[in-house]
Amino acid sequence: MPARRKTLSQTHMQMDVDVDNSVDISRAKKAILNRLNGHAPLPALVGLDGPLDSVYSLLNRTVSSAEGNTALLIGPRGSGKSTIVQRSLDMLKQKHDTDTDIDVDSSSVSKYHIVRLSGFVHTNDKIALRDIARQLLIKQDLENILIGSFADAFTYILNLMRSSDDEKSMPPVLFILEEFDLLAQHPKQSLLYTLFDIAQSQQTPIAVLGITARIDVMDLLEKRVKSRFSHRQIHVSNAKALEDFVDIARVALSIDDNEHRVTNAFAESFNRNVSAILTTDFVASFISDIFDFGKDARLLLRTFVYAANKLSNEHPYLQLAHVKTAIARETASAKMQILESISLLEVCLIISMKSLVQSGSSKYNFEMIYNEYKTFMSRHMLATAGGGAMKVYKKPVALKAFETLVELEIVRPALSSALGSDGSAGTSGRNDLLAGSTQGSRAPKEYRMVQMMLEPGQVLDLVAKRFDIPAVIRRWAQQ
C-alpha cells in the first residue's frame, strides 16, 4: 500500500511538471510570435542607441519643457524606425507615469497626448483632421468647422483642448506622422504647413515627428513648408556588422523568465537552444546571405515564424529541422513553389520541352512536345515486361495540362510569334496563346511556337523534390 501511494504521488508530480512546461511553452510561443510578426517590440534595440536617444530627447523636451519641436526620422524600410518611436513613447510613459492609451475621464487631465497619422490612411486633410479630433477626444460636431480652411479648423480643435484645462494651458501634443512622404503629397501641404507653423510659434507645445524611407523627402516640401521646418533630421541605418544582425535574431527569439512569467530553468534552456541554432553553419550562412543582400531585419525575423509556430509539448524548444524547412521555403523562388503542386503529366511535358531544348530546338509547339512525350512513353512501355506499367494520356488531356502550364506562365509564346504584323513587339501574355489567334498568327494553339521559362537545372531540381515521380521519369529528366 505505501508503495502504491508513492507511485501515485510521483504521477501527480509528473503531471504538475507537464502542466508547468505547457504553460511555459505557450507563453514563450506567444511572446516570440508577437515579436516576429511585428505585433510587439523587441526587448532590446541592437545598434540603434543613437537614434533612440535623439528621438526620445526631442519628444521629452516637448513634454517636460513645453518646447515646440519638428524632426524627420529617415531610414530604409526594416531598419527599426517604428520600433525607435514606440520605445521612445514607452520611455516617456514610464518617466511621466501616465497612460496615454486609455481614455481619461473629465476629472483628470493627461500630461500629454499622442496623435498618430499615416500617409496610407489619411489620404486628404479632411480625413486627417477628423482623426486628429478623435484621438484628442474632441467629441463635438465638426461639420461646420470643416467648411473653412484646415488651419482654422485645427486651431479651433486646439482651443477646445485649451479651454477644457483648469489652468488654461494646453497639454503637449506629440504628432507621429508615418509615411511622411505621402502626407507631403496633399494639395498645398496644408496639414504639414499648419503643424510646422504652430510648432514654430511656441504658443502651443507640440512635437511633429515625420517617419519616412525616402532620403529625398525634403525635395517634396514646398518652400513655405520648409521655412517652418526646423530641418532636424535623424537618420537610421541598417545593422553595420554581421554580429549585430545575428543579435537581432537572438534578441527576438530569446525569452526572459521575469517578463514572460516562465520558469528560470526553461528560459535558460530555451535561450541556449536559440544560440546553438543561430551558430550552426546552415543558419549562419543564411543570415550572412540576408545581411549581404539587403540587411532587412523583417525578412530575417519572418524566416523564424514557421519554427516558432511549431513550439508545442512535443517540441518545447526551437528545432533546427523546422528552421531549415523555413529557410528552404524562403530561398525557393515563387515559380518553384508553384511547380511543387503540378501533376505528373505536367512534369512529363516540362521534361519533354527540356529534351527538345537539348536536341537543339529553341522554339517548339504543343505537337512537338506531345510527340516527344509519346515517343518516350511508347519506348518505355515496349521495354517493360508488363506492357502497361505507365499510362499514356491522350492528346486532349495533355493539351489541357499544357494550357495549365501556360496559365502558370511556365510556358510563354516565343518571341517570333509575339510580333505584330508590322514587326513591332506585341503582347505575349497567356491570353494571346490561349485565345483564338495571336497577333500576326492565325495558327491553332497546338501549333503556336512557345518557349519554356525554366532552366535545365530548375527542371532537375523540380524532379528531385518530387517523391511521386517514377524512377524511369527521373532517368529521363537526367538524360
Q: What does the pLDDT look like over 267-284, one tens digit per residue?
A: 889 999 999 999 999 999
- Do residue 326 and residue 371 come from a single domain? no
Mean pLDDT of 216-223: 91
Give the model's pLDDT for residue 388.
Answer: 43
162 and 130 share a domain?
yes
Q: What CATH number is given to the structural domain containing 103?
A: 3.40.50.300
Domain shared by 220 and 200, yes or no: yes
3-state DSSP of the chain? CHHHHHHHHHHHHHHHHHHHHHHHHHHHHHHHHHHHCCCCCCCCCCCCHHHHHHHHHHHHHHHHHCCCEEEEEECCCCCCHHHHHHHHHHHHHHHHCCCCCCCCCCCCCCCCEEEEEECCCCCCHHHHHHHHHHHCCCCCCCCCHHHCCHHHHHHHHHHHHHHCCCCCCCCCEEEEEECHHHHCCCHHHHHHHHHHHHHHHCCCCEEEEEEECCCCHHHHCCHHHHHHCCCCEEECCCCCCHHHHHHHHHHHHCCCCCCCCCCHHHHHHHHHHHHHHHCCHHHHHHHHHHHHHCCCHHHHHHHCHHHHHCCCCCCCCCCHHHHHHHHHHHHCCHHHHHHCCCCHHHHHHHHHHHHHHHCCCCCECHHHHHHHHHHHHHHHHHHCCCCCCCCCCCHHHHHHHHHHHHHCCCEEECHHHHECCCCCECCCCHHHHHCCCECCECCCHHHCCEEECCCHHHHHHHHHHCCCCCHHHHHHHHC
- What mean pLDDT comes out for the span 294-306? 86
CA-wise closest residue to 371 among 350, 347, 388, 395: 395
Query: Sorting pLDDT into bands at 50, 70 and 90, what band is 437?
Result: very low
Highest average pLDDT, of 331-340, 412-421, 455-464, comes from 455-464
| pLDDT at residue 71 tops 70 | yes
Pair (322, 363) in one structural domain: no
Q: Quick one: 90 and 202 in the same domain?
A: yes
The pLDDT-based confidence of 474 (bands split at 50, 70, 90) is: confident
CB 164 within 8 A of CB 140: no
Domain check: are 59 and 182 in the same one? yes
Reported as a pLDDT band with limits 50, 70 and 90, residue 210 is: very high
Q: Which of 235, 264, 283 is the last residue of a domain?
A: 235
72 vs 47 pLDDT, higher one: 72
Average pLDDT, the chain: 80
- Percent of the chain whose predicted confidence (pLDDT) is above 70: 80
Band of residue 142 on the pLDDT scale cut at 50, 70, 90: low
Write the CATH number for 428. Answer: 1.10.10
Per-residue pLDDT tens for 323-375? Answer: 988 888 777 666 777 777 888 889 999 999 988 888 888 888 999 999 999 88
Confidence at residue 13, expressed as pLDDT on a 0 to 100 scale: 35
Please give the average per-residue pLDDT across 418-443, as a whole number.
49
Could you tell me if 88 and 125 lie in one domain?
yes
The rounded distance, in Å, linking the Cα atoms of 78 and 299 is: 8
pLDDT value at position 115? 92
Both 79 and 226 in one domain: the answer is yes
Residue 7 pLDDT > 80, yes or no?
no
Position with higher pLDDT, 4 vs 290: 290
CB atoms within 10 A of CB 37: 13
Query: Of the residues 331, 347, 367, which one is the last residue of a structural domain?
Result: 331
Residue 430 and residue 318 share a domain: no
Mean pLDDT check: name the lowest of 134-138, 250-254, 286-290, 320-324: 134-138
Arithmetic mean of pLDDT, 146-170: 68
Closest CA to 336 of 473, 428, 460: 460
Domain that includes residue 93, residue range: 49-235
- What is the pLDDT at residue 6? 42
pLDDT at 86 over 50: yes
Cell numbers for 238, please give them: 541598417
Q: How much is the pLDDT for 148?
A: 65
Q: Is the dihedral of CA 403, 405, 411, 412 positive or negative?
A: positive
Are residue 94 and residue 213 in the same domain, yes or no?
yes
pLDDT per position as a tens digit, 96-134: 764 444 333 333 345 788 999 999 998 888 888 888 888
Mark which of 168, 202, 235 sits at the end of a domain: 235
Q: Does residue 381 have a pLDDT over 80?
A: no
For the chain, the domain total comes to 3
Mean pLDDT over 57-66 rounds to 90
* Long-range Cβ contacts of 217-223 (<8 Å, 24+ apart): 217/72, 217/74, 217/180, 217/181, 217/184, 218/72, 220/181, 220/184, 220/185, 221/184, 221/189, 221/192, 222/188, 222/189, 222/193
Residues 326 and 372 in one domain: no
CA dist 153 and 159 (Å) reads 10
On whether both 81 and 13 belong to a single domain, the answer is no
Residue 187 pLDDT > 70, yes or no? yes
